[in-house]
Amino acid sequence: MGGPLDGMLVVDLSRALAGPHAGMMLGDLGARVIKVERPDGGDDSRAWGPPFVSAGDEHVSTYFLSCNRNKESIALDLKDDDDRAALTELIRRADVLIENFRPGTLDRLGFDPKRLEELNPRLVLLSISGFGHDGPEASRAGYDQILQGEAGLMSLTGPDADTPQKVGVPIGDLLGGIHGVVGILAALVERERTGRGGVVRTSLLSSLVGVLAFQATRWTVGGDAPRAIGNQHPSIAPYGAFRCGDGVVQISVGSDALWRTFAPIVGVDPNEERWATNGRRVADRDALIAHIEGVFAGSSRDELLAMLAEAGIPAGKVRTVDEVFAWEQALSQRLALDVHHERMGDLTLQGSALRMFDFDGTETGRTAHDAPPLLGEHTDAIRAWLAS
């Protein structure tokens, strides 16, 4: 397949999004990923819709399509002895095993860490949970929006402190998968040194708290508990979304040097005392925003963006998703990926965020991509391989 993980085998027991996203990333990097699904319906996300893509009586959730490319699917009932034996053989051959059951579920199925080590001492196990694998609330079910609230993210997102808002994608799940892949890759490097695998654990809670960034240290170091302030930056001004004659533009005046360039554009003396430094602009943000939007009201979005670009002020549009996938820059980064589905024909998926190159500029990553599989599509072929 190509890519740095070519030749590695990943067995993916996970469902929904966090684990499948991790498995998809590993597949994008060249690993062979075998997705283990329940025979009666498979991954939960196969039923999450609308929208669905349909061909005859076959319906595929677009949600499932978003996180399961470059995988094979085998249908196994893990309460059945024969199917559990097939999983056991997969584990013996695997480099990585991914699971996101509630803590303790894999143990009850007969695959606790000690048993996994006996089967395959070189195995790297990734376990993703909602609230963590230990602690007083480890047993709670971990769904993304619940964790966005519990981890503090919703208190920072929205127009004001009284209107908490979730992020528009399941960011806790996605970050859980990404952090899981970082852990897997670190464990694989360590395995090269020690010859032994190990257990990587992450959670939606830790992944979200871990990216609170400067908002966390505002409290832990500064004693200032942050709250949502809409589309403005809490520590930099002017930085955010501003209304103009026909919509919204975003600008980032991230330094006093940029302010000295930007201020004359909106008819302000850069040395005017109340706005001369970033700290003063933040303190007087409301008045500054009102002034800027008053000036911007007489111009269209495109006019302003052209003027700001010429002046060297970082600025941009607020694009809709359909506009993103028609944008030449996004397409140049291979963020639209064409695949052929067994039943649905040609499909376009979002592409990988990673690209791999030699130092001479030759792209070395995976060049051919597979559509997300049908439920159990590869069961017979995988069983035949295991029996060989």
Q: Are residues 255 and 163 in the same domain?
A: no
* Within a domain: 234: no
Q: Are residues 166 and 21 in the same domain?
A: yes
Q: Is the pLDDT of residue 56 over 80?
A: no
Catalytic residue among 95, 173, 246, 338: 173
pLDDT tier at 116 (50, 70, 90 boundaries)? Answer: very high
Q: Is the pLDDT of residue 367 over 90?
A: no
- Between CA 308 and CA 301 the distance in angstroms is 10
Q: Are residues 257 and 353 in the same domain?
A: no
- Condensed to tens digits (0 to 9), the pLDDT of residues 69-112 reads 999 999 999 999 999 999 999 999 999 999 999 888 999 999 99
Question: What pLDDT score does 1 carry?
Answer: 67
Average of per-residue pLDDT across 308-314: 97
CATH of the domain at 108: 3.40.50.10540
Q: Are residues 64 and 178 in the same domain?
A: yes
- Between CA 96 and CA 185 the distance in angstroms is 10
Which pairing describes strands 9-12 and 32-37: parallel, antiparallel, or unpaired? parallel
Question: What pLDDT score does 368 carry?
Answer: 87
Q: Are residues 51 and 200 in the same domain?
A: yes
Q: Are residues 315 and 343 in the same domain?
A: no
- Residue-averaged pLDDT of the chain: 95
82 as an active site residue: the answer is no
* Within a domain: 130: yes
CATH of the domain at 268: 3.30.1540.10
* Within a domain: 225: no
Q: Are residues 129 and 195 in the same domain?
A: yes
Q: Are residues 360 and 270 in the same domain?
A: no
Do the beta carbons of residue 255 and residue 281 sit within 8 Å?
no
* Within a domain: 80: yes
Burial 160-186 (b: 16+ CB within 10 A, else e): eeeebbbbeebbbbbbbbbbbbebbbe
Residue 112, both tokens: 């606790």
- Condensed to tens digits (0 to 9), the pLDDT of residues 152-202 reads 999 999 999 999 999 999 999 999 999 999 999 999 999 999 999 999 999
Question: What pLDDT score does 270 carry?
Answer: 96
* Within a domain: 216: no
pLDDT tier at 57 (50, 70, 90 boundaries)? Answer: confident
Q: Are residues 191 and 260 in the same domain?
A: no
* Listed residues 321, 354, 379: the one ending a domain: 321
* Listed residues 295, 321, 347: the one ending a domain: 321
- Residue 282's domain spans which residues? 239-321
- Condensed to tens digits (0 to 9), the pLDDT of residues 17-50 reads 999 999 999 999 999 999 999 999 999 999 999 9
* Within a domain: 113: yes
User: Which 3 state secondary structure label does DSSP give 250?
Assistant: strand
Please give the share of the chain, as a percent, with pLDDT higher than 90: 94
Q: Are residues 310 and 375 in the same domain?
A: no
* Within a domain: 2: no
Number of domains in the chain: 2
Q: Are residues 26 and 117 in the same domain?
A: yes
Residue count (the chain): 388
Average of per-residue pLDDT across 263-273: 96
Q: Are residues 112 and 185 in the same domain?
A: yes
Do the beta carbons of residue 2 and residue 357 sit within 8 Å?
no
* Within a domain: 47: yes
* Listed residues 321, 355, 375: the one ending a domain: 321
